[in-house]
Structure 1
């Protein structure tokens, strides 16, 4: 259907929700959540009710709604209910500081906030500082009386009609926003369009994971992240498969329990979680049944080869490491089932084009390190209200990722670090990832991050911040042991000249190490000294 001036009508909720019922999957389980089995017919009705609830409150096309929601079915109801009426849901991280929500709400100018009760309790004291907010809709899972000035989510939802007419959106309308994780500074509002999820589904999910209706997905990465949004929601819904939602934080124990209970076939994790799960299994001596898994996925940071090898040894299932970004929506370079080159990010996903370029924009030959750029039809429309950053990041069809990479002769891509993380030691570029992967092979090392520090001659040297495994004490002797270990496995100029033992590394909630915070720590210490 085409309306004059609108182009071809298209709405993502039709594809990911309604189409499954239309093709006879209404009785199939769409969502496993605790002891609930939510079938596609139930899901469609709840999505429609959520959309009608928002319409009743006066929400129209392009109105923005911030979602501060746990990984529960309500997240999916609200997300697609908003999209179906042409409004723009903005899921945000549930683990931020109260001031961060003031930033999200005021930066996006959202009219509505839909939030779980326990999360509202943490930020309600800032209510008068939310400049554009008109409605606070609280998802109340207890019998407690709701705070004054808020709206009961379920009271409105349950009285809303289960029939909903789709708004006349088209492929290029804004569908949803995501905020960047803040690994390089303040989060940026990233605008994705109606067609973006379908493109990511048809490329990575269908042509790399070979996802089908028979699959069951479990994502440790939460739904408010681009990675989790795909793996935990629109990938399975896009093919009529099932998803498992876990509200709790993704600890090793929680994830092992979820895998054994719900028996997913695809598991989406991040490198730090895989490392923690391996360490937990070895430390406790427990044997976990992961036989339901046919494939595991990793993204967010480069997967250390030691993690891949140990996971494969323990559970006989591949971890497909890859790279994606919030701006690109999901993974665009990945290893393949039966074709894993450990330590690499794999090869380009069909449907995307990738180049490695120098500072002048010239494509580099194999084995030369440069800046990674990508193009594909799920690249974001752009950043909200960031004109200068848009010009630098989105150049024509190409998205500048901000990562240093090289491609080998066989077409595998190798991550060298963020563009601003690379170290020039003795006039030679050094990747912090290479040093980190080396130290992670030592039996006593749990986590490590390498940044550049200046010595007394103002020359850059590699410094490693190391988290040791439980029961291992940091000492001068341990520092020398790790330095000598690195010297045995790396070119001499690459070994870390300084090692500092710390309790934990600064990370985003996706598990990305925030090296910029470690660099800031070095500067602060230098000023104080």
Structure 2
């Protein structure tokens, strides 16, 4: 039916439960999205332009998201752990015409606005951010009508590559009517057994700057599913919200499963979770023992999938996973998943190679990076660089992930970016960054440094390097520890054999994939 049709026919129906517990009705949400949309158009934004959001989970973010989606804009939700220079890069690279931020991130937001050259009249804030206008002013003087130009916009979320600089995944605008729910949205939810309305309630426990998290909330609201938003995830609070709002589905990462299982048994049993129907997880590997424990507790409602911002993927329900433990499932309907060798030739069942996918025409591009777009493709297939195999029944098993990417608590961390920042320190001769085991987060960031000539390694140097990193990188990217070697293992052409550095830390353990 879609957000605006629901708002017209059932204006009092609950759309969003904010982290503070306030119920926002469809009528209110649609009206706010209309006001923001009118305001953006009054500022001169037109289809194809971009707006950057640096907001915590809440009604403001959701309304701004739908404002962009109904006015043909690319909406860029940025990770609010980033520092100002990182946000400024995304604002510049995306060509953003407007920046909306929250006072919680005031310092980074103000730095980003200044660094990207956005004028003050294009910057809006929830709360107080120096140099920003109150968000309440956006569209306040416009007529209380729908925006003049209404055409479907699109998320444009950033994913990093080998250069260390994030790249926006940009799809062509469809020109569709934003009042109509995209067929792909209804189809995608049907993969997990989620149908429109049907008394569904979605629980969002992760930040909405994540691709999947944003998609799940957006589609839920389009299909009449109320969305319960958490600001900061807490295991017992999640259980309380499930019971209080009769939650039916959520999108989770394995770290959250671990935290739930760590609760005392009496606490776990205190809450009624019988309303759950589809607790969907992806973004990081889930250890089999953790998944089995969640299935024992919640029943066969835990569904795993493997996918990419770029499109395409696999899914495996609980019953199938128990028969094929370790698999991430079979391709979605309409999705192609295949294994190719280094020459781009398809491999038979059981043989390990690079995982390639396609969803429809896979007509995305990495914004401002034609080379990255080209390198990720073989014909109409694309790859993330993950390595795996298909068994004789067509189930995908991953054997490794992108060679260097770190996944910590379900968050992708790209070592090249960290290496770039550390390498410019005058006391660093060479540096490698990779993931090492962590019982809770799966992996944590490790740096191995070759000190510059005449520099002594030790605690003093480590602290100096970490201070340097903290000033340039978001906290979750800063190495948790630094080790030292006289020389890093490189071949005569300069290629770093990172596996030689990484493997000793994983000795005796199966590396997360």
TM-score range, shorter-chain basis? Answer: 0.7 to 0.9
8 Å CA contact retained: 2:349, 2:389: yes
Q: 1:200 to 1:303 in 2, by over 3 A?
A: farther
8 Å CA contact retained: 2:106, 2:129: no
Q: 1:53 to 1:332 in 2, by over 3 A?
A: same
Aligned to 2:218: 233
Q: How far does residue 207 in structure 1 lie from its aligned partner after superposition?
A: 3.0
Q: Deviations over 1:442-491 (max 9, x none)?
A: xxxxxxx9x9xxxxxxxxxxx99343579xxxxxxxxxxxxxxxxxxxxx
2:486 and 2:392 map into 1 onto residues whose CA distance is 43
TM-score w.r.t. the length of structure 1 is 0.71
Residues 119-138 of structure 1 correspond to what in structure 2 (within 5 A)? 119-125=105-111, 127-133=113-119, 135-138=121-124
Residues 69-468 of structure 1 correspond to what in structure 2 (within 5 A)? 69-125=55-111, 127-133=113-119, 135-141=121-127, 146-147=128-129, 149-165=131-147, 167=149, 169=151, 175-180=154-159, 185-194=164-173, 198=182, 200-213=184-197, 214-234=199-219, 236-246=220-230, 248-281=231-264, 287-328=270-311, 332-336=313-317, 338-340=319-321, 341-377=324-360, 379=362, 381-420=364-403, 465-468=436-439
Aligned to 1:5: none
Q: 1:51 to 1:417 in 2, by over 3 A?
A: same
Q: How far does residue 269 in structure 1 lie from its aligned partner after superposition?
A: 0.2
TM-score w.r.t. the length of structure 2 is 0.73
Aligned to 1:267, the other structure's residue is in SS state: strand
8 Å CA contact retained: 2:186, 2:195: no
Q: 1:308 to 1:394 in 2, by over 3 A?
A: same
Aligned to 2:468: none
8 Å CA contact retained: 1:302, 1:415: no
8 Å CA contact retained: 1:302, 1:343: no
Aligned to 2:339, the other structure's residue is in SS state: strand
Which 10-residue stretch deviates more, 53-62 or 68-77?
A: 53-62
Q: How far does residue 227 in structure 1 lie from its aligned partner after superposition?
A: 0.7
Q: 1:70 to 1:367 in 2, by over 3 A?
A: same
Aligned with residue 50 of structure 2, among 55, 61, 64: 64
Q: 1:387 to 1:312 in 2, by over 3 A?
A: same
RMSD of Structure 2 on Structure 1 (CA): 3.5
8 Å CA contact retained: 2:124, 2:134: yes
Q: Deviations over 1:472-524 (max 9, x none)?
A: xxxxxxxxxxxxxxxxxxxxxxxxxxxxxxxxxxxxxxxxx98x979x967x5
Q: 1:157 to 1:280 in 2, by over 3 A?
A: farther
2:236 and 2:345 map into 1 onto residues whose CA distance is 47
2:154 and 2:313 map into 1 onto residues whose CA distance is 21
Q: 1:469 to 1:346 in 2, by over 3 A?
A: closer
Q: 1:62 to 1:129 in 2, by over 3 A?
A: same
Aligned with residue 55 of structure 1, among 23, 31, 41: 41
8 Å CA contact retained: 1:179, 1:189: yes
1:303 and 1:245 map into 2 onto residues whose CA distance is 24
Q: How far does residue 345 in structure 1 lie from its aligned partner after superposition?
A: 0.5
8 Å CA contact retained: 2:106, 2:130: no
Structure 2 gap ranges (5+)? 416-433, 442-475, 490-513
Which 10-residue stretch deviates more, 380-389 or 205-214?
A: 205-214
Aligned to 2:233, the other structure's residue is in SS state: coil
2:163 and 2:124 map into 1 onto residues whose CA distance is 32
Aligned to 1:36: 22
Aligned pair count reads 424
Q: 1:116 to 1:421 in 2, by over 3 A?
A: closer
Q: How far does residue 148 in structure 1 lie from its aligned partner after superposition?
A: 5.0
Q: 1:60 to 1:165 in 2, by over 3 A?
A: same
8 Å CA contact retained: 2:70, 2:150: no
Aligned to 1:115, the other structure's residue is in SS state: strand
Aligned to 2:259, the other structure's residue is in SS state: helix
Q: Deviations over 1:322-351 (max 9, x none)?
A: 1111111xx620012643333210111112
8 Å CA contact retained: 1:136, 1:149: no
1:16 and 1:202 map into 2 onto residues whose CA distance is 11
Aligned to 2:320, the other structure's residue is in SS state: coil
Q: Deviations over 1:6-57 (max 9, x none)?
A: xxxxxxxxx74223345x3333212122332222222221111110111222
Structure 1 gap ranges (5+)? 1-14, 423-431, 437-448, 452-462, 471-512
2:234 and 2:88 map into 1 onto residues whose CA distance is 28
Q: How far does residue 184 in structure 1 lie from its aligned partner after superposition?
A: 8.5
1:103 and 1:29 map into 2 onto residues whose CA distance is 37
